Amino acid sequence: MPTSSSGSLSLAAARRTALAAQGFASAPPSGTPTRRAVLKVLDSTRLLQLDSVSAVVRAHYAPVFSRIGAYDRALLDEAAWGHTARRPRQLIEYWAHEAALIPVEDWSLMRWRMVQYRHGRWNGMRQVLERNPALADDVLGVVKEFGASTAGEIERHLELDRPRAKDNWGWNYSDTKVVCEALFAAGELTVPKRVGFQRHYDLAANVLPAPVLSREPDEADAVRELVRRAARAHGIGSETDLRDYYRLNRRQTEPAIADLLDAGELEQVTVAGWDKPAYLHAEARTPRRVTGAALLCPFDPLIFFRDRTERLFDFHYRIEIYTPEHKRVHGYYVFPFLLDGELVARVDLRAERGTGRLLVPGAFAEPGRDHSRVAAALAAALRAMADWLELETVEVGEKGDLAPALRREIV
């Protein structure tokens, strides 16, 4: 066991435990990564968050690259949005930690959430369903007749021309799109494919294996399984960490943690500097050291719970996409940089595909870090990312205290 006889861990040991659980203490695959190597990442993370921002690369692709290096993104697309008898679908979309890809077999563990969402996932969605009481059945009828379809295609089949609201910031969905999303949240529809990142909806019964569809664990059993998966993905974590991974609530997680403690699957320990108990997974390992470098996208499972990131790495991190440009501290789409088990820097990144450039508008070192050492490792990581994204050059801007040293390494 990676604990002392007193059941306590140093912060450094907890950090290495967490990194090992997330797949950062394993050697990357030799040779070109295969579908098996891609799916092995999911064995560690259990989910990949989806997000529409494509400033560098879509959020679900980046964590795989961070763990195994350059791979063919089509392998992940095929695992999530492709299916043949020889190569059955391995991943499916649902609301896990926000919208995410999860293993197909985990879809059943979300049944209780689908029940909660049967009348809509948020208030505006419920209002659309209430003012269009027949639209859900109409949408399902179109999908039954025509198969997997986008919301726009469904709307055209229904011969609707519903104006979109103009008074809301962000996505102005039509009522048909909102209802498609409501049926997806309720588990009646799922997403068998995406084209240009646009969802195509189909009946869950047409997409998911019969054993997955027929399994309906009660909420307590399902939540216990989700907490078990979260604990394995964390290696070590507080109750709030385990709760956040699948967006559970305290009422759900506390009984689940108690059951897992009784079963010997978790051990309650203390972590130096933490003001709350920690739970160590029975199979967690704590390597003596963690080496290597990785750029972490803002939605990487290692760091997407910002409170945990700060506790583990002493790294204060907030995404600034929605912050007005003049108020941003570090930039629009900032990747923390992991080096030998610590978060040592952060870079604002942009992939400019039309000109073949990976742009680095800003580069910032964490306090007390050796700029020369960090810049050398970061330059290599940026070059590797550019090659993976088929970009020819890396160009570093002026912003940030690390930028001068990074520019010297890039040239």
Q: What is the pLDDT along the chain (411 residues), one digit of tens a residue?
A: 333 334 999 999 999 999 999 999 988 888 999 999 999 999 999 999 999 999 999 999 999 999 999 999 999 999 999 999 999 999 999 999 999 999 999 999 999 999 999 988 989 899 998 998 899 999 999 999 999 999 999 999 998 655 545 444 333 468 999 999 999 999 999 999 999 999 999 999 999 999 999 999 999 999 999 999 999 999 999 999 999 999 999 999 999 999 999 999 999 999 999 999 999 999 999 999 999 999 999 999 999 999 999 999 999 999 999 899 999 999 999 999 999 999 999 999 999 999 999 999 999 999 999 999 999 999 999 999 999 999 999 999 999 999 999 999 997
Closest to 203 in 3D by CA, of 149, 126, 128, 132 = 149
Sign of the Cα torsion 207, 91, 123, 179 reads negative
CA–CA gap between residue 3 and residue 10 (Å, rounded)? 9
95 DSSP β-pair partners: 99
Q: Which residues contact 239 (CB under 8 A, 6 or more apart)?
A: 250, 253, 254, 257, 276, 277, 279
pTM, rounded to two decimals:
0.93
